[in-house]
Structure 1
Amino acid sequence: MNYLITGGAGFIGSSLATYLAHEGHSVTVVDDLSMGKKENIESKNIQFIKADVRDSSKLKSILKNQQFDYIFLFAAIASVADSIERPIETHNINFESILQILELVRQTQDKLKRVLFASSAAVYGNEPTLPKKEESVIRPLTPYAVDKFAAEKYTLLYANLYNVPTSAVRFFNVYGLRQNPASVYSGVLSIISKQFIKILNNEKAGFNIYGDGEQTRDFVFINDVINALLLVAESNESKGEVYNVGAGKYTPLNEIVKAFEEVAGVKLPINYMQARDGDIKDSYADITKLSRLGYVPKYTIYEGIKEYFAGLLSHY
């Protein structure tokens, strides 16, 4: 099969690209390396093209010259803070580039099996009902979340209106190797892991928890995410549909720290700070809809952290 992955040098995109290449598929990655890293592209079966997804002439050339079986749209500025500070620029990347690619796909890709767009659980906002279901109330609170929801709706519209085979997924808290702990955009697990690496290197370390540490999130390991992405992309039932991608469980932050301590064999100094206004206390996904496609998360939080941290240690 022939795959195109935009944003394929980033965390999730490069993890999927590496898996597909190891399975013997042909993979083309498009990334401008503003957030992704070239070293994430490891396999000779991956063709890397450095390009900005806003470059319509470049994207048109790629899509006119190749017929793809599957296209994954991961390119984005994955920062809520950036979207607040630079709403126009992030809108151009997180929304307008998606619409542009969808239209190019409609014009050029006659044999395409699926376009899959990566949305976010951020679209749910602060609406308190749990667990989050695909039909839950949508209350996006930031330009990032608004753009993700709008791009998601356009993606599904192309299935219903233009018969382009599309699907979308809403990621919850994905973690795993290639998630850069030095990045300001990193998830909390990669930030915590960086502190444990410091301790093992005899450096000063510590971690601030805002509140009592009992706030919960739905943490899902990257290997389970790859499985979910392929299930959605390859299912006939999923055309024109959106799916939550999570573990379907809620894990307190204190439990995350404890799991890391057990895996690393050291204690992490914790500073409990006053809770921040606006922080969401609890969030987790209802994955019933995804489960109907055959999705079963294989990694507990401890198993995922153990594999993740072992990979980090071998890297460092």
Structure 2
Amino acid sequence: MKQNILITGGAGFIGSHIAEKTLENNYNVRIFDNLSTGKLSNLDTIKDHIEFIKGDIRDYDHLKKSFQGCDIIFHEAAEVFVPRTVKDPIETSMINDIGTLNVFEAARQCGVQRVVFASSCAIYGDAPQLPKVETMLPRPKSPYAAQKIMGEYYAKLYNDLYQLETVCLRYFNVYGPRQDPSSPYSGVISIFLTKAINNEQPIIYGDGNQNRDFVNVKDVVQANMLAATQTGANGNVYNVGTGKTVSINALWENVCKLTGISLSPTYEPFRSGDILASVSDIRHAIQKLSYSPSISFEEGLKETLEWYQCK
């Protein structure tokens, strides 16, 4: 018998890729998204095979109604633009804190088996220890990071107190097709690729020596599928990255090489809440989830560039 899954934020960048993979794996797929940043066009190839519900995770009653009959929830919906959480911590907490609590409670009330929660490497802040390991104490530098930590605390509480299986995945810097470069929510790779295609200078905040662990969306989807299905995975937090780093300056150099342009970036001051260095220790995910990132940075960058060129 097919299992029923629901993806909050399923019309977004990562959520739409999860939707495709779950369909491929023979699940019944339901998507819950308010389309504030998600796009129905992200679902064009699968729209005839899914159920779409326009809704907001701040609306508990609507969530509870939508979760009826679901076995697994992938909770991707969030306010992910760090500067907005810095500017408006109260409003964004209604999404990332209360919205996430609504998801867990609605899941409990509806008899959902497992919730996979999209957390973030932002919770590590600028702690000097590298690589980042799950046992490190959180050092949030933004309301966004604090909100994600709270989501993890709720996940652990619901797992232990209410026996709702939960798994938290701390995403590092996810990239790939369907990131919207015109949006301030976009990752740096999508922005750089679009700038290069248009032969425009990019803006780099800071000196460009910041390091990031760029993980392809296909590998993030792999981690989600494993988190949803692996026996004994629940009650834990896992890093989802590659364990390798690329500086922002080196990223732009790679983009220039791929596109055959030669442009120097414009440098502007660091933005509030930005992290200087970030790389994952993924041994826990390898051991407990059998996670195995398979997309190299060069391969993923090339594939993503080709997608933007075809838009």
C-alpha deviations, 1:216-235, integer Å up to 9, x for none? Answer: 11000101111111112211
Letter in 2 for 1:284: V
State the shift of 1:212 in Å: 4.1
Aligned counterpart, 1:202: none
The residue that corresponds to 2:295 in the other structure is 299
Structure 2 residue aligned with 1:137: 137
Q: Give the Cα separation in 2 of the matches to 1:24 and 1:129.
A: 41
Task: Report the 3-state secondary structure (helix = DSSP H, G, I; strand = E; otherwise coil) of the residue aligned with 1:296.
Answer: coil
Provide the C-alpha distance between the structure 2 equivalents of 1:210 and 1:49, rounded to a whole number of angstroms.
Answer: 38
Spell out the pairing of 1:9-158 with structure 2 (5 A cutoff): 9-42=11-44, 43=46, 44-64=48-68, 67-109=69-111, 112-158=112-158
Structure 2 stretches lacking a partner, 5+ long: none
Question: 1:241-267, CA deviations, whole angstroms, 9 ceiling, x for partnerless residues?
Answer: 010111111111222122222322323
Amino acid at match of 1:20: T
- 2:175 matched residue in structure 1: 175
CA contact (8 A) 2:208 2:247 kept: yes
Tell me if the contact between 2:126 and 2:277 (Cα under 8 Å) persists in the aligned partners. Answer: no
Distance in 1 (CA, whole Å) between partners of 2:298 and 2:27 is 31
- Sort the Cα spacing of 1:278 and 1:69 in 2 relative to 1 into closer, same or farther, 3 A: closer
TM-score when normalising by structure 2 = 0.93
Equivalent residue number for residue 250 of structure 2: 255
> 2 CA distance for matches of 1:278 and 1:32?
26
Kept in 2: contact 1:176–1:221 (CA 8 A): yes
- Tell me the CA shift for residue 115 of structure 1: 0.5
Distance 1:9 1:137, change over 3 A: same
The one-character-per-residue Cα deviations of 1:79-133 (angstroms, maximum 9, x if unpaired) are: 1111122222111110112112211211212xx4421111111111121111110
- Structure 1 residue runs of 5 or longer lacking an equivalent are 200-204
Q: 1:106 to 1:188 in 2, by over 3 A?
A: same
Shift in alpha-carbon separation, 1:75–1:210, aligned structure 2, 3 A = closer
Is 2:158–2:166's contact at 8 Å kept on the other side of the alignment? yes
State the percentage of identical aligned residues.
Answer: 42
Distance change in 2, residues 1:74/1:269 (3 Å): same
Contact preservation (8 Å) 2:31, 2:51: yes
Residue of structure 1 equivalent to 2:184: 184
Which whole-Å CA distance do the structure 2 matches of 1:58 and 1:275 have between them?
40
Compute the TM-score of the two structures, normalised by the length of structure 1: 0.92
Cα separation, partners in 2 of 1:276 and 1:157, compared to 1, 3 Å: closer
Opposite residue 299 of structure 1, the aligned amino acid is: I
Q: Give the number of equivalent residue pairs.
A: 306
Structure 2 CA distance for aligned equivalents of residues 268 and 307 of structure 1: 22
Structure 2: which amino acid aligns with 1:237?
Answer: G
Determine the C-alpha separation between the residues in 2 that align with 1:283 and 1:237.
28
Whole-Å Cα distance in 2 between the matches of residues 122 and 276 of structure 1? 14
* Partners of 1:295 and 1:169 in 2: CA distance: 12
Q: 1:185-204, aligned counterparts within 5 Å?
A: 185-199=185-199
**CA RMSD in angstroms, aligned pairs only:** 1.7
Return closer, same or farther for 1:184/1:164 CA change in 2, 3 Å cut-off: same
How far did 1:193 drift? 1.0
Contact 1:106 1:164 survives alignment (8 Å): yes
